[in-house]
Structure formats: C-alpha cells, structure tokens
A and B are shown apart, each in its own frame.
Chain A
Amino acid sequence: MTPTRIRIIIGVVAGFVGVLGAGRPAFAQIASGSDIAGSWMPFAHEDFVDRIPGPEPLDWTGLPLSDEGRKVGLSYSVSRNSTIERQCALHPPQYLVLGPFGIRITAETDPFTGATVAWHVGAWEDRAPTTIWMDGRPHPSDNAPHTRGGFETGKWLGNTLTTHTTHIKAGIIRRNGVQVSDQVTLTTHYIRNGDLMTVLMFIDDPVNLTEPHAISKDFRLQQETTLDSTGPPCIITYEGTDSNSVAHYLPGKNPLTGELFKTYGIPREAALGGAETMYPEYRKKLKAAYVRPEKCPHNCGGLPGGPPGGFPGGPRGGGPPGAPPPPPR
C-alpha cells in the first residue's frame, strides 16, 4: 500500500470518528487525546462475517498476499488446529482487529511523576495481553524471543496514539488459515474521540505480503461494564488428531479452492487474494469474470433465522439464506 493511500486511510478514519463523536453530548465527552483506559466493546456488525461466524475457507479477497503467503495458505488444513500442541496457542496481537472481542485497557503510571509509562491491553479468550511501552525504551534485539503479545512501543501524535509492534509470532491474518510469518510488524493507530475509538492497524510482513494490509475496528467505551483483562484458562484435550501429526494439503490437492466460486460466483483468482484485489479498480477487472449466483446460500447479511435484512443493530443486507443477493456494485 502506498504512503499516500495510507495517509488517506488514516485521514478518512480519523474524520469518520470525529463526525461520530461530534454528535455526542458534551457531558459524554472525555478530555481528548491522552487517555485510552477503559473497557471498549466493538460494534458487532462491522466486518460481521469475518469477525463473528468467520470467513469462508480460502476467501483471501483483499489480502495483499505474496506468492509465498498464498502457497502457505493453500497447504493449510484446519485439522492442524486440533493437535495437542496448537490447541492453546493464542492468536498474535493483530487479532485485536481481526477477532470479535472487546478490549480492556489500563494505564501504568510512574508513581512519582504520574506520567503514563505503559498501556496494558488486556487479553481476551484467544489473544494474549500486550503492553504498549510509552517510556521510549528500544525494541529488543533480533535474538530476543517473539512473544504472544509482541513488543509494542507508542507515541502520541495529537489525538492519535501510534504504536509499532515487533517480535511477533507467526499467526493468522484472516480467520481461515492464511497467515503471516514471524517477520511481521504492526503499525497501529489508536484514534480516540469521546467514547468512540478506532484502532487502525497496518500489518506488514515482508515474507507473506507484498504490501501492508490495513484493517480497522471500531469500539465504544463502556460506561457501566468492566471487561476482564485476562482470558479464561485453556484446557488441552485429545480432539482426535495425534500429536506430532501435521495436517496439510499437497500442492494442487486443496479441495476448497473452488469453494468461493461455487458459493458466491467469485473467481478463484480473486479468492486467492493479492495486492491488486485490495483496490477499488479491481472490481472493473473482476466484473467480466463474476458470475452472480441465483441464490445466496449463507452469510447473506443476517444471522441464520434472523429477521429479513439482518438482525436488529446488525448488518444490513440480503436477509436469510436463500434470499437473492444484492446487485453487484
């Protein structure tokens, strides 16, 4: 992604949050800028399919995958997650924006100066806690361990806390197996306005991506609820997959490569991602190859069994399974 596009995205998101926040009554506003502590709940409808039921297998549309990243994804079998050694392996810190959950942020202050030394972003279910160091400490050396939460340092730029995360373990970039390598780094912007906060993340992996992948997630500050800052314990159990087995598909043998075409008429070349598929111009190219299915079988914009057009407060859209899909834009 080009720097200009990155600047545009940050500007648009910051503006969007500002517009939303401007409508709030003055008494609900919290002094702007430098306090992100609190319990923050996400908007469930935002990127609903990716974050709640989970995306279709091999739906990598809009991911700037390199050829290497695509190959790793194509060999992935979901059975791998059932091995003893993977069951309690948490997702890496980018799961903060990829996953469905809220976050609780607390401040660590210097007892003498009162300055914020660090922000602690609490864990949730399947994501480790992260500490955002604000005291200017350097990042560890290349030989230091990569941790589940990564090593994150931050700086305020106006009302936006911008952080840089390194020392991250290999892990998912979308919730269907496609992943980034242990060379991944994150640039994250925590943009707060009143009781709204947008977390805008740029995921950069020189191995499995050709450009940074930008993804944002919006949160609302909870006034009366406090989220936990640790996830529940994880108990490992036998799930039918032997330890030390590595489930994977050999090249050309992944049976799911045509799934997105069968279900939604999306051509394989678009389903397998690539930087080109991130940009609006790609729709023109895709138009000729897109075959609109007669019926939308699932993930049509609402919860199964929910009211037509989606569920209250949820996504707009095509209604229950079997409803005609929305016309292509």
Chain B
Amino acid sequence: MTTSKRQWLRVLVVLVLLTATVPWGAGRLMSGMIGLLPGWVWYALILNVVFATGTCLLYEKWWKDESVEKDCVDVDDSLRREPDQ
C-alpha cells in the first residue's frame, strides 16, 4: 500500500470514528443538559455541524493548487492518446 493510500485510509478511519462517537456523545450530553429534543435529534443536528466543518477543513487540507496541478500533469501524461477515430 502506498503512503498516499495509507494516508487516505487513516483519514477515513479517523473520520468514521469521529463521526460515530463525538456527535453521539455530544447528543447524549445535550439531551441530558438541555432536554427539549430527543437524543437522536441532537445527534443528527450535531452530526450535520461536524460534517460541514469536517468537509470545510478537508477542502483546506486537500485542495492545494500545487498538488492538484501536479496530479493533473500526471493524469494528463498517463492518458495522452491518439485522437478518437
């Protein structure tokens, strides 16, 4: 497994774990402290905020012009082919 694939896998595992545990715990906490809504609704609400923030941070981390440009040169080179007949 290449370093990049290992990195992807690690990020994925961390994301799944964070998504499953943090909003669930926070949801239970909110439900206990504030009440108003059932725990699973708090969980869904917090999950959405975590999901949005996680996605926003991933955009910052993964969308770097230099690396995307380099990827595209690689993809370009590897896919260069004769025109369609």
The answer to whether A and B interact is no
Interface residues of B (CB under 8 A from A): none
Interface residues of A (CB under 8 A from B): none
